[in-house]
Amino acid sequence: MRWMLRLGLLAGLAWGVRRLGSLLSTPPEPTTTDALVAGGRFVEADGIRLHFEERGSGPPVIFIHGLLGSADVWAGLAARLDPHFTTFALDLPGAGLSDKPAVRDYGTTAQARAVTAFAENECDGPAWLVATSAGARVALSAMSRRPDLFAGAALLAPVLEASPRGISEDWALCIANLTTAALRSRRLVGVALRTAAGPGMQVDRTLLDAFMIPARTEGFAAALAASLTTGNHLDREELPTPVGKPGLIIRGLNDRIAPAAVAEQLRMETGAELHLLPGCGHFPQSERSDEVARLFRDFVAR
């Protein structure tokens, strides 16, 4: 029985290597960003063209995706908040359908600067920040720099470090090229998402596209490599004080990516309210969109 399991694992590994090799050997031409836009619009902020999708009516909420995500990861949650808020699902610089210039800082501080510029341009009054995964550090950095622009923050499956410190540019580019190639395979992306999610989650086309479509745009791999090497972490002094800035943290108990210690650290150091969701993985906004929407509405209403 054991030899059959090993044989199966070897066969699976061989298939994966062969599949990845075929992807790397025939890289498609990048698709222009404008050709991929199905909705939303663009705005200039902090010297770069940002793509975002606006929905609903009410107090402003800015959604911030994680390292490989895009505005579309928020589709389910945005639909449930539409009657109560004006939501802005933002593609950060170098991600989604926003521009990806070859020469730009994609570190946490620079990404936070783009978010604050966007809030100044598009939001009528202080905005709530709702961030997932590595987007949490961008949200916290933005709040610490311009607290006047933001009412508070909700952090879903927060990650404060998404790559090792001190990674070389060559290694970062290698990782970025391999990741970009893998993101062209619907099967590989589906397996990765199901592994990161809680048990029983159905990965739909919207979530697949949220990760796959940006990888087809020009400059994606170079921007991803740069984000892995430039300030891809949050220093403790950048954590905002709890005074006057309410915070909400939501983490799935089945999350294999966002460390439980990070959520607890943020709760203790910022005074945020922490909710743990049994059976939920790394995508609370997709896996438990109804529950997350209810928690957020109740929290804002207090």
- The CATH number of the domain where 75 resides is what? 3.40.50.1820
Write out the residue range of the structural domain in which residue 61 sits.
32-301
Tell whether 145 is covered by a domain.
yes
On the CB side of 93, CA atoms within 13 Å amount to 27
- Beta strand segments in the chain, E: 41-45, 48-56, 60-64, 86-90, 127-132, 150-156, 247-252, 273-277
Tell whether 97 is covered by a domain.
yes
Tell whether 126 is covered by a domain.
yes
Pairing label, strands 150-156, 273-277: unpaired
Q: pLDDT at position 268, please?
A: 87
Mean pLDDT per 10-residue section of the chain, whose length is 302 residues:
38 48 48 54 92 95 95 95 95 95 88 96 94 93 91 94 69 89 92 91 88 91 86 54 70 94 88 94 95 96 86
| Among candidate residues 9, 4, 18, the one with its CA nearest the CA of residue 188 | 18
Q: pLDDT at position 157, please?
A: 96
Q: How far apart are CA 42 and CA 97, in angstroms?
A: 9
Tell whether 194 is covered by a domain.
yes
The count of domains in the chain is 1
Tell whether 12 is covered by a domain.
no
Q: pLDDT at position 271, please?
A: 85
Q: pLDDT at position 297, please?
A: 96
Tell whether 37 is covered by a domain.
yes
Tell whether 91 is covered by a domain.
yes
* One-letter amino acid of 63: F
Between the alpha carbon of residue 90 and those of residues 82, 128, 129, 216, 230, the distances in Å are 16, 13, 11, 18, 21
Q: Quick one: how far is CA 265 from the chain centroid?
A: 20
Q: What is the pTM of this model?
A: 0.86
Q: In this structure, how many other beta carbons lie within 10 angstroms of the beta carbon of residue 262? A: 20
Q: Quick one: how far is CA 169 from the chain centroid?
A: 22
Q: pLDDT at position 168, please?
A: 79
Tell whether 140 is covered by a domain.
yes
